[in-house]
Structures are given as structure tokens and as C-alpha cells.
Amino acid sequence: MAISTAVVGGKGLLGAFFATLLVIVFFASGQFALDRLTRNNPQMMMAAGLLVYTTQILLVAVVLAVFKRTTLFDTKVFGFTLLGCALIWTAFQVRGAMKAKIYYVQPDASESKADKPGDSGRQQ
């Protein structure tokens, strides 16, 4: 926002502010929706993630189409800030997913040695 204010002025600041606000609102609500969709059915994570992300991009496209010819703020600053913030948000989501310790095998602690399939009741 500081760079856009220095380069373009007040309209640049307003465009950068609206773009930042738009990314925060759309992507945070998408994260909330994804959490709600996959809370009871984690197997749907990939499909729900794709649906949420596609919906977010379509909503951003609608907003861009609506404000294409506005004189309220600088549309170039708005577009570049929107792109930059969306890429930063996505990069931090990827980083968070890479750092998360998500087990792909669920250990079953209730199963004892005698109950394992290979032992079938043999006594030692």
C-alpha cells in the first residue's frame, strides 16, 4: 500500500486497500468453508478444496468485471495488489500444509500382539 501511494497517490492507496481487503475476506471465508466442509468427512478434502478455490477465483473475476471501468480507485494497482496478495496467501497455505504433521497411516493402539493377523491365537 505504501508503494502504491508513493507511485500513484490516493487512488493507488484506495485500490491497494480494496484489493487487500478483498483477498483477506474471500480467502479467509474460503478457509472457513473448507474447514466446515471437511470437519466430518476428511476424505472430501481435495474435492472440497478444489471447489472452494474455484469459487474464490470466480468471485474475484466477477469483482474485477464489475470494477473494470471504475474511477473510484486505480484499477492497475488494484489488479497487481490483488494478484500479489492472492499469490502470497497461496504460498503461505502451501507452506502451512508442508509443515503440518499429518499422518497418512492411523496407528491402532487398541490392537494387542495376540490380536494381530499373523499370530491367530498361538501361544508362546
For residues 96 and 38, the answer to whether their CB atoms sit within 8 Å is no
Q: Is 19 exposed, middle or buried (0-12, 13-18, 19+ CB in 10 A)?
A: buried
d(CA 96, CA 101): 10
pLDDT tens per residue, range 115-124: 555 555 555 5
Buried b (16+ CB within 10 A) or exposed e, 28-41: eebeeebeebbeee
**Per mean pLDDT, which range of 20-24, 36-40, 83-87 is the poorest?**
36-40
Looking at the whole model, is its pTM more than 0.95?
A: no
